[in-house]
Amino acid sequence: MRFGLLHTLTTALSLVSPSHAARILMGNDDGFGSGNLREFYRLLKEAGHDVIIVAPVINQSAQGGRSDFTTAANLTAPGQYNIVPAGAPSVGPDPNDSHIWYYNGTPAACTFVALDYVLPRYFPDWNQSPDLFVSGPNFGVNLGPIVFTLTGTLGATYAAVSRSIPGIAFSASNDAIAYTNVTNSSNPATWAASVSVNIVEAFLNGTSEGQSVLPLGYGVNVNIPPLTSDAMPEVVRSRLTGEADTDIAVFNETTKLFKYGNVVPKAAGVNACINGDCNLPGETWVVQGGSISVSIFTIDYDAPDVAYTNSVFAKIDGLTGGGDEGNSSTTYKKRVVGKNGVIPEKLLSGRDNIAR
């Protein structure tokens, strides 16, 4: 695989930054002119990686995993920060950088447009198979399970994971800044990008030749506390649940409108520990403590095969037949399929366009 040679070389030469040169596809939800995204892009390239951005032409925050494609072939309004004018095609490159693309759709839609349009048409040597997808860093942290359906930063990422591409979502604590306003290297956008690159490098460094950066169906959620320099805060293994917030609808009697707030005290439902290591700290707690949280998720949303799950199925035994598998064992058991209609055998492989 293409990782191979460079990895061997850098290891042999004991370079300071012994990472693989990887093909990295980037997205976000804040828009393709985000200072965080552009700094992340710049520093990933500086680290030697081959990088392509496909991100929303305007701010598409809070779209979750919604995949919304525009119905207009051309932009009806200028793109973010007037980088592209109204009337320009709804998908296209930045006028100044052919590796930075915009699309007039949601973050998840941008991931699919990247994989099915931008890469095959303009970067055919990528074989539609980036080594890694990264999103962000978002302006504002994305903590706890509710962000899974709420934020486009995660939505773009699990779209990639669903297409068998390892995905890491990055969210930082800094305020929005346009890339054109990033004029030096000592500002929060560059700091957030810098620590994000360190985390990418660690994942690549920890991946041996021929391996996928993450197992199939796995993704990572990284949250970064407020930074005052590019120094790495402590990095902590965490879980999505634990101290996590969820929403409450707050009604204003004067305006007759709702706003969201956080449930106080914290809700039990969003913090139920069902999968993973229940002893790990919640990411919300970790970031409040000033550290970087790294949580691992899967997009297999099935409940685990435990007593609780069985007790739920048992309630409808009258419909499905009793016993561990109900009567599915007779008809449907044979039809548990993976992608391309086969049972996946090599769980550490799996980019869809790489022959296995």
Where does this chain bind ligand NAG (CB under 6 A)? 18, 30-31, 34, 59, 61, 73-74, 83, 87, 95-96, 139-140, 176-178, 181-184, 186-187, 201-202, 205-206, 252, 254-255, 320-321, 327, 331
Residue 51 CB, nearest approach to ligand NAG (Å):
17
284/238 Cα distance (integer angstroms): 9
Residue 132 CB, nearest approach to ligand NAG (Å):
15
Question: Can you give the length of the chain in residues?
Answer: 356
Residue 243 CB, nearest approach to ligand NAG (Å):
22
- Which C-beta is closer to ligand NAG: that of 83 or that of 161? 83
Listed in sequence order, the residues at least 6 apart from 114 whose beta carbon sits closer than 8 Å to its beta carbon are 25, 27, 52, 54, 101, 103
Residue 10 CB, nearest approach to ligand NAG (Å):
10
Q: Which residues are catalytic?
A: 171
- Which C-beta is closer to ligand NAG: that of 185 or that of 246? 185
90/73 Cα distance (integer angstroms): 5
Residue 291 CB, nearest approach to ligand NAG (Å):
18
Peptide bond into 265 cis (omega under 30): yes
Greatest alpha-carbon span in the chain: 69
- Which C-beta is closer to ligand NAG: that of 155 or that of 242? 155
Strand partners, 167: 133, 219
353/220 Cα distance (integer angstroms): 22
- Which C-beta is closer to ligand NAG: that of 115 or that of 192? 192
Residue whose Cβ sits closest to ligand NAG:
321
- Provide the b/e sequence for 55-88 (b: ≥16 CB within 10 Å): bbbbbbbebbbbbeebeeeebeeebbeebbeeeb
Q: Report DSSP letters for 164-205, one per residue.
A: T--EEEEEESSPP-BGGG--SSSSHHHHHHHHHHHHHHHHHH
13/7 Cα distance (integer angstroms): 10
- Which C-beta is closer to ligand NAG: that of 96 or that of 279? 96
Residue 340, CB-side half-sphere exposure with 13 Å CA sphere: 11
